[in-house]
């Protein structure tokens, strides 16, 4: 081999030449402008980024507001639905109890007027047990009697049918003509009462 051929044998192609031991960077892609390393974004780029960030924040705030409104609407709907359901149940219970109360009234009157010879019989003891069960059922539905006898007359709970002279009992309920009842802290039927009237106090006035 000649000296010229020997030199050409060790000559490397220009495409693989290195600078300071590194290969040449790959060719740039057409249409893509890459910022130089360590170069800060331009003012226009920052303006665009800030605008996009503000738009994203506004959209996020709108989504949050819509979500909070939806949650509030759902809670209001649930509260209203629950209230309507409870009112419907209570209304149905009230209607049923109102139909039962006359039976309770008749039973109470029978108890008050039972002859002594019958009151001692086992049959009457069983009858009283039925009355107790009936009262227990009413209590389980939230029904309770209105206390009236000896109380101050209150038109919210009492219905005054009669007034009677009663010294020292002015404005007091002196007799219960028909028992009143409440259901779930609401007046189901006011108590029909007789109210005392003190004429001495009337003359003093």
Tens of pLDDT, residues 128-140 = 888 889 889 999 9
Report the distance separating Cα 53 and Cα 63, nearest Å.
Answer: 15
The packing angle between helices 122-140 and 43-112, to 10°, is 160
CB atoms within 10 A of CB 106: 10
CA dist list (Å): 1 to 7, 10, 11, 196: 10, 13, 15, 146
E-state strands within the chain: 143-145, 158-165, 173-178, 181-183, 186-189, 191-197
The C-alpha atoms of residue 80 and residue 74 are separated, in whole angstroms, by: 10
Segment holding 198, helix H or strand E: none
Does the pLDDT of residue 41 top 70, yes or no? no
CA distance 178 to 158: 10
- At residue 153 the predicted structure's pLDDT band, cuts being 50, 70 and 90, is very high
pLDDT at 18 over 60: no
82-140 pLDDT, tens digit each = 777 767 666 778 888 889 899 899 888 888 888 877 877 888 888 888 888 988 999 99
């Amino acid at each position: 081999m000649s000296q010229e051929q020997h030199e050409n044998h060790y000559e490397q192609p220009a495409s693989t030449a290195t600078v300071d031991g590194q290969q040449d960077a790959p060719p740039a892609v057409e249409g893509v402008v890459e910022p130089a390393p360590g170069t800060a974004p331009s003012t226009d780029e920052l303006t665009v980024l800030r605008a996009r960030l503000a738009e994203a924040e506004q959209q996020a705030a709108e989504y949050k507001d819509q979500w909070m409104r939806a949650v509030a609407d759902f809670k209001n709907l649930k509260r209203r639905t629950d209230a309507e359901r409870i009112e419907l149940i209570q209304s149905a219970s009230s209607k049923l109890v109102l139909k039962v109360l006359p039976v309770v009234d008749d039973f109470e009157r029978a108890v008050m007027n039972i002859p002594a010879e019958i009151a001692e019989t086992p049959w009457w003891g069983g009858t009283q047990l039925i009355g107790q069960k009936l009262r227990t059922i009413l209590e389980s539905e939230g029904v309770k009697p209105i206390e009236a006898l000896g109380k101050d007359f209150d038109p919210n709970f009492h219905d005054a049918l009669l007034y009677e002279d009663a010294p020292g009992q002015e404005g007091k309920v002196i007799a219960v003509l028909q028992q009143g009842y409440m259901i779930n802290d609401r007046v189901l039927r006011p108590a029909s009462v007789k109210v005392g009237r003190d004429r001495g106090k009337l003359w003093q006035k």
